[in-house]
Amino acid sequence: MVRPETAPGDVAADPGTSGGRRRRLLVVTAMAAVLVLTAVVFFRWGSAESPTVAPSPSPSASATAAPTTAEVYAAMAPSVVVIEAMTRDNKVTATGTGVVANADGLILTALHVVRGAVAVRVTFADGTRSAATVSASDPKQDIAALIAATQPPVLVPAVLGSSERLAIGDGVVAIGNQLGMTSSATAGVVSGLDRVATSKEGGTLTGLIQFDAAVNPGSSGGPLVNARGETVGIVVALANPTSAGTFIGIGFAVPIGAAVAAGGNGRGPQQ
């Protein structure tokens, strides 16, 4: 049987030989490399085409709105008292306002409300009535401090602020018992600082807060409250060029720091 001749240099590849295995390995390796390259290209292309995810916004605190006049009044009303100066036969000779200044029940008011009174009676916001005595006074500031013989079951002292933070134009609320109308609230602005006024007794009051919230007889001793609900002054006077003694647009208050010192409290404003 004649076998076909093989040209010199030609070798028939035998699948079972080592040369065949190497050739298959090279083919497999090349195919794997192509697949990897293709995957990388598609991954990068897909990443470039994918939209960028925007970062989610983080929560932030919103601005707190200032309390309204109604909210300021609601917060202050439990600390405001009616003050009556009386004769021996319990006749009321003068009416004013006071504010509970600390947890011990110290009440600050205007001295001219209780000056010369034989007896003093206070009525708290919850209706509790009690005799009271003057524990300290300062005619130069027209400020008096009272202590009630009987206190209400729940005593609510006012939050005291700092008049040093006041600026002309700041909003204020005056709370008092003007013209016999108890628990009256009026709103306005600080219209001057470090003012001088004449007291009812003819003395000179200095370092006063001037404001335009309406006040009238009966308002004396009441709190002047800032827009945060803090007591920053004690109302002591109003300006009126006539003998009527009614409000024409200018009221005066003793800064709360001076009022506290005059009342012998020994503790300054909380804020």
Tell me the two tokens of residue 188: 């306005």
In the residue annotation, 243 being an active-site residue is answered as no
In the residue annotation, 126 being an active-site residue is answered as no
Q: What is the chain's alpha carbon radius of gyration, rounded to the nearest angstrom? A: 43
Spatial separation of the C-alpha atoms in residues 106 and 148, rounded to whole Å: 8
Which own/partner contact pairs does 75-79 have at CB distance under 8 Å and 24+ positions apart?
75/159, 75/229, 76/158, 76/173, 76/175, 76/223, 76/225, 76/229, 76/231, 77/125, 77/175, 77/183, 78/125, 78/126, 78/156, 79/125, 79/156, 79/157, 79/158, 79/223, 79/231
For 81, other C-beta atoms within 10 Å of its C-beta total: 27
In the residue annotation, 112 being an active-site residue is answered as yes
- Catalytic position from the list 79, 137, 142, 184: 142
Backbone angles phi, psi at 100, to 5 degrees: -70, 120
Q: Where are the beta strands (DSSP E) in 169-244?
A: 171-176, 184-198, 204-211, 223-226, 231-238
DSSP string, 57-119: PPP-PPPPPPPPHHHHHHHHGGGEEEEEEE-TT--EEEEEEEEE-STT--EEEEHHHHTT-SE
- Catalytic position from the list 79, 112, 212, 219: 112
For 8, other C-beta atoms within 10 Å of its C-beta total: 5
Which region, left, alpha or beta, applies to residue 264 given φ > 0 means left and ψ of -120 to 50 means alpha?
left
Active site residues: 112, 142, 220
